[in-house]
Amino acid sequence: MTAREYLSQAYRIDQRINSKLEQIASLRALAAKVTSTLSDMPCNPKSQTLSMENIICKMVDLENEINNDIDNLLDLKNNIVTAIKRIENPKSRMLLELRYLCFKSWEQIAVDMGYNSKYIFRLHDKALEKVLITKSGE
């Protein structure tokens, strides 16, 4: 695994958490739409209950997955912070923190740091080399 792949894991976990949160919101909206139908025709009263039960079960399962993902994200971010703190150059540390912990775009990082994109990319490449050196020195 390269330094970039290692550091990018947090973003992917964060995206997965956001996706699951959207799924839960969608399931909640669906559950709110489930209504009783009043009719004098005989029907299976369990059909609607099972539907609501399935929605609730899916929501609970997703919430458990989100909790596990959050735990993994926190552990990974702690490891990433430790790896970034070992880098001596403060500009490199700031760049890696903005990119891999705050998930900022390259353009936003360039604006925040007051440099052009070309310099940011060069600084990023050098910073990644330092992360590799740091990781192999463990």
Q: Which two tokens stand for residue 97?
A: 């923190």
> What sign for the dihedral angle of Cα 30, 32, 33, 39?
positive
- Is residue 79 a contact partner of residue 138, using CB atoms and an 8 Å limit? no
Mean pLDDT of 42-65: 77
What pLDDT score does 138 carry?
47
Q: Which amino acid is at 71?
A: D
Q: 66-124: per-residue pLDDT in tens?
A: 999 999 999 999 999 999 999 999 999 999 999 999 999 999 999 999 999 999 999 99
Residues, the chain: 138
Q: Which two tokens stand for residue 48?
A: 């609607």
Distance CA 54, CA 46 (A): 12
Q: Which two tokens stand for residue 114?
A: 């007051």
Q: 1-43: per-residue pLDDT in tens?
A: 899 999 999 999 999 999 999 999 999 888 887 655 555 666 5
Instruction: Fill in the DSSP letter of residue 102.
Output: S
From the list 58, 4, 68, 62, the residue with the least C-alpha distance to 31 is: 58
What pLDDT score does 43 carry?
58
**Residue 122 DSSP SS3:** helix
- What's CA 55's distance to the chain center, in Å? 24
Overall fold of domain 88-138: Arc Repressor Mutant, subunit A (1.10.10)
**Residue 29 DSSP SS3:** helix
Distance CA 82, CA 38 (A): 61
What pLDDT score does 110 carry?
98
What pLDDT score does 47 carry?
52
- Which pTM does this prediction carry? 0.75
Domain ranges in the chain?
9-37+45-85, 88-138
Query: pLDDT band for position 135 (50/70/90)?
Result: very low
What pLDDT score does 17 carry?
96
